[in-house]
């Protein structure tokens, strides 16, 4: 399996509204941290995330978090 592209070596904090979001797993989306379809033709697929209430989320942008799609600090080691 190929490794995803590192979009940024820092998370992105966003206050999210309830809904379903699709986290970019390949790192190539121009709409980080969300999928824009750039994974087409690769082995990567976006990860659906259901947000049930308004909350602040630290989204992983390094694409290597063991807690994807959420940041776990792995970007500090890349």
Q: Which secondary structure element, helix H or strand E, spans residue 56, and what is its range?
A: strand 55-59
pLDDT per residue as tens digits for the range 30-66: 999 999 999 999 999 999 999 999 999 999 999 999 9
Confidence of residue 23 (pLDDT cuts 50, 70, 90): very high
Query: Which tokens hold the place of 20?
Result: 């379903």
End-to-end CA distance of the chain: 18
Predicted TM-score of the model (pTM): 0.93
Tell me the pLDDT of the chain averaged across its residues. 96
**Sequence-separated (6 or more) residues with CB below 8 Å from residue 55:** 15, 16
Q: Kindly list the domain boundaries of the chain, sorted by start residue.
A: 12-77
Could you give the CA distance from residue 35 to residue 38 in angstroms, rounded to a whole number?
A: 7
Q: 17: which DSSP letter? A: P
**High-pLDDT (> 70) share of the chain, %:** 99
């Amino acid at each position: 399996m190929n490794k995803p592209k590192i979009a940024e070596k820092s998370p992105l904090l966003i206050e999210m509204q309830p809904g379903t979001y699709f986290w970019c797993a390949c790192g190539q989306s121009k709409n980080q941290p969300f999928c824009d379809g750039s994974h087409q033709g690769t082995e990567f697929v976006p990860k659906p995330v259901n947000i049930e209430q308004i909350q602040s989320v630290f989204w992983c942008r390094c694409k290597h978090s063991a807690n994807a799609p959420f940041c776990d600090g792995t970007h500090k080691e890349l």
